[in-house]
A and B are shown apart, each in its own frame.
Chain A
Amino acid sequence: MSSPVSLIREPLITGNKTYHQITEDLISPTEKTPPLSWMLGFIVAVTFLAVFVFTVGWTIYHGIGTWNLNRTIGWGWDITNFVWWVGIGHAGTLISAILLIFRQKWRTGVNRAAEAMTIFAVICAGQFPIIHMGRVWLAIFIFPYPNTRGPLWPNFNSPLLWDVFAISTYFTVSLLFWYTGLVPDFATVRDRAKGMRKKVYNFLSFGWTGSAKHWQRWEALSLVLAGLSTPLVLSVHTIVSFDFATSVIPGWHTTIFPPYFVAGAIFSGFAMVLTLMLTTRKLLKLEDYITIEHIESMNKVILLTGTIVGVAYLTELFIAWYSGYVYEQFAFFNRALGPYWWAYFGMMFCNVVSPQLFWKKSWRRNIWLTFFLSIVINIGMWFERFVIIATTLARDYLPSSWSYYSPTWVEIGIFLGSLGLFFTCYLIFSRVAPVVAVAEIKSILKTSGNQYKGAAHHHDGHQEEVHHDHH
């Protein structure tokens, strides 16, 4: 009706698609036998998953003593991995919620896969706090439930308990948001399927019919869920940062942590979305739906958040010096030039220097460079958490208890194994559900499809937006 067709913005769907072709392109991967590339990827992922099961089993059977944590360094790779995975799990909700509120149409190409990625990343994250407790069978003690021990309650003043609530709420809400978006698409799969497959998708689609009233409520629900998820996603990493910031350890006890952690989370999450989407788009031939324009938009977010993270690193250094507090000054001196200098410089290079390449437009639009940098950034963000956690603990107030930490094969196995858990989930998802939101893509076709925007518009930005109103 009165939806504006912008001639400045590039089309988000190319290839002169019709509604039926969109269905065909996006649903058919769930209907075909997986290609060899998928099979190989799945075998590798499941192998790593087996490593995860084995090393976690080893840890539970023999205890945390199989890790190299010591009296000084009580948090090592376990919590580093936890924070890293939770951070990655922030992009999905950011894309689906915040970009929905800002009416960014490019979100429709990537939101489904990004939300799935969020859910799988949070599942991976959740493993680490549980196994690092040691006696995992007592993990239920973290929840406040009436019990026969008093009842004895958890400490509601502790940021570690806030984390329990934040992560479990985040997981639940992300899952509901994602699944509600999937229901109409499962109905599309159902209506094309036969036999047993039809029964399965009939169950998954909850009896969706596409009635006008249902769509109206569905849109209202999506918008309110987005509105609630926006502060939620910001709160989750804020609370994760409280795990550190509310302690009195120099290098952790800083007010900059919440915004700095949130920016870092979005940064690493977008990097992981790019790693996955560039692979998925190639393998499932989705180049018409996840265009260079999408990649460039995500690279802009990476450039922005990477720069925020860089400013935060420098602010920390400045404040440490300016505070005049020797322990704080030492903590940062030790991070940059102490025994873990290599982690600090890895972090600085990967997170602050490397994204600056994206100031150049042609580099933002370069697929190979984007893919390479997305991996570099994920490595960098892992280093960041390692720097914050292990290097800070290694040199505390008492030089007599200074220590050094390097992981055992068990800890390395759990980390690599968690990648297996993540990719196994993602690969299964990419075969059973449409990785791009079918209904949402159809709803933006007439405003963002290339054929509706006229012949190739490569303007220099002076064109006015044209409104096709039919009043």
Chain B
Amino acid sequence: MAHKEVIFGLYNDEQDLLKAVKKAKAGHMEIMDVFSPFPIHGLDPLLELEESRIHIAGFIYGMLGTLTAFLSMTWIFTKDWPIIFGGKPYWSVPAFIPITFELTVLFACVGMVVTFYIICGLGPGVTNPTLDDRISDDKFCLAFDKAYVNEADARALFSATGAAEVNSKNL
């Protein structure tokens, strides 16, 4: 991560944070990020975050699972090693449904979870710098990058919106 000088305000309540985000947006201040101990409803539209497309990825992974399961069983039981079970046809589609379903779910879930961690830059052994240890407890953090936002403007915003603390940190 490139070197960043961050100024951030810590709020005690998510409603105060939402007001501050609104005000910052109204003043055209570029918000670096917002950190919180739990997902805040109503924050995403204020930050103009696009809806996550992870479900589209999930659909593709799921289809991949469907095809893998169904085509493998088809190939195995019609081409590679055809065996008659209980007088049924080699290509006994209804009997393939349970495994096809299970692999669809398996591929979709595993694929989405792996994608989630990769696109978020998270994973085993990853250490991301955090601005304050209390953000995962009870503080709601609004952060600005000093390269894009004037420090005085940021401090004015924080004091006007009732931030409990204002700090700076180099990331």
Interfacial residues, chain B to chain A (CB-CB below 8 A): 18, 33-44, 47, 49, 51-52, 54-55, 58, 62, 72-73, 76-77, 80-81, 83, 85-86, 88, 92, 95-96, 98-99, 101-103, 105-106, 108-110, 112-113, 116-117, 119-128, 130, 133-138, 141
How far is A438 from B37 in the complex, measured between Cα atoms in Å? Answer: 9
A162 touches B137 (CB 8 A): no
With A172-B110, A192-B137 as given contacts, are A212 and B43 in contact (CB-CB < 8 Å)?
yes
Interface string of A120-156 (1 = CB under 8 A from B): 0000000000000000000000001000001111011
Collect the chain A residues with CB atoms within 8 Å of residue B126's CB.
Answer: 206-207
> Contact at A20–B137, with CB atoms within 8 Å?
yes
CA distance A219 to B43 in the complex (A): 13
The answer on a CB contact under 8 Å between B117 and A220 is no
Q: Say yes or no for A318: interface residue by CB 8 A criterion.
A: no
Measured CA separation A232–B108 after assembly (Å): 12
Q: Decide yes or no whether A231 CB sits under 8 A from chain B.
A: yes
Which residues of the partner chain A approach B95 to less than 8 Å between Cβ atoms?
156-157
With A and B bound together, what is the CA distance between A177 and B119 in angstroms? Answer: 17
Task: Report A355 CB to chain B, min CB distance, Å.
Answer: 31
**Contact between B37 and A439, CB atoms less than 8 A apart:** yes
Residues from chain B with a CB closer than 8 A to the CB of A203 are 124-125
- By a CB distance below 8 angstroms, the chain B residues around A20 are 137-138
With A209-B35, A210-B135, A210-B136: A156-B96 Cβ-Cβ less than 8 Å: yes
Closest 9 CB pairs of A and B: A207-B126, A19-B138, A220-B52, A215-B39, A191-B133, A207-B128, A157-B95, A162-B98, A1-B42
Docked-complex contact A225 and B99, CB < 8 angstroms = no
Residue in A18, A150, A216 with the greatest tally of chain B CB atoms within 10 Å: A216
Contact B125 A156 (CB under 8 A): no
**What does the 1/0 interface line of A180-220 toward B look like (CB < 8 Å)?**
10011001101110000000001100111111111111111
| Chain B contacts for A443, CB-based, 8 A | 38-39, 41
Separation of A401 and B31 alpha carbons in the complex (Å): 78
CA distance A190 to B127 in the complex (A): 11
Of the candidates B39, B88, B110, the one whose C-beta lies within 8 Å of that of A157 is B88
List, in ascending order, chain B residues with CB within 8 A of A177's CB.
Answer: 109
Of B81, B119, B120, B141, which contacts A152 at CB under 8 A? B81
The one of B37, B102, B137 in contact with A166, judged by C-beta atoms closer than 8 angstroms, is: B102
| Residue count of chain A within 8 Å CB distance of chain B | 67
CB atoms of A212 and B86 under 8 A apart: no
Q: Is the CB of B105 within 8 A of A228?
A: yes
Chain A residues within an 8 Å CB radius of B86: 157
* A217 touching B103, Cβ below 8 Å: no
**Distance from B112 Cβ to chain A, minimum over Cβ atoms (Å):** 6
Q: Nearest chain-A residue to B137 (Cβ)?
A: A23
Question: Are B37 and A1 interface neighbours, CB within 8 A?
Answer: no
**For chain A residues 1-52, which have a beta carbon within 8 Å of chain B?**
1-3, 18-20, 23
Q: Which residues of B contact A212 (CB under 8 A)?
A: 33-36, 40, 43-44, 47, 49
Contact A207 B137 (CB under 8 A): no
**Chain A residues within an 8 Å CB radius of B55:** 220, 224
Partner of A169, one of B92, B105, B125: B105
Q: List 24 A-B contacts (CB under 8 A).
A: A19-B37, A153-B77, A156-B95, A166-B102, A187-B136, A203-B125, A207-B123, A208-B136, A212-B33, A212-B34, A212-B35, A213-B120, A215-B39, A216-B39, A217-B54, A220-B55, A221-B52, A221-B113, A224-B54, A224-B112, A225-B109, A242-B98, A439-B37, A442-B38
Contacts of B37 in A (CB 8 A): 19, 23, 184, 188, 210, 438-439, 442
Given contacts A212-B35, A231-B105, contact A217 B119 (CB under 8 A): yes
The answer to the question of A239 belonging to the interface, with a C-beta cut-off of 8 Å to chain B, is: yes
A25 smallest CB distance to B (angstroms): 12
Contact A215–B38 (Cβ < 8 Å): yes
- In the complex, chain A residues whose CB is within 8 Å of the CB of B137: 19-20, 23, 188, 191-192
A144-B76, A183-B122, A210-B135 known; A169 vs B58 contact (CB < 8 Å)? no
Q: How far, in Å, is A87 (CB) from chain B's closest CB?
A: 18
Instruction: Decide: A156 near B77, CB < 8 A? Known: A180-B116, A221-B54.
Output: yes
| Minimum CB–CB distance for A442 against chain B, Å | 4
Cα-based distance from A218 to B133 in the complex (angstroms): 20
Residue of B nearest to A155 (CB): B85
Q: Is A283 an interface residue (CB 8 A)?
A: no
Q: Are A192 and B72 in contact (CB under 8 A)?
A: no
Distance (whole angstroms) from the CB of A425 to the closest CB of chain B:
21
Q: A162 with B122: in contact, given A188-B37, A221-B54, A231-B105 (CB under 8 Å)?
A: no
Interface status of A165 (Cβ within 8 A of chain B): yes
A235-B98 contact given A206-B122, A214-B120, A442-B37, CB 8 Å threshold = yes
Asked if B99 and A165 make an inter-chain contact with CB atoms under 8 angstroms apart, the answer reads yes
Complex alpha-carbon distance, A202 and B126, angstroms: 8
Please tell me if A440 contacts chain B, counting CB pairs below 8 Å.
yes
Contact, CB under 8 Å: A213 / B49: yes
User: Across the interface, which residues of A come within 8 angstroms of B73, CB to CB?
Assistant: 156
Minimum Cβ distance to chain B for residue A436 (Å): 13
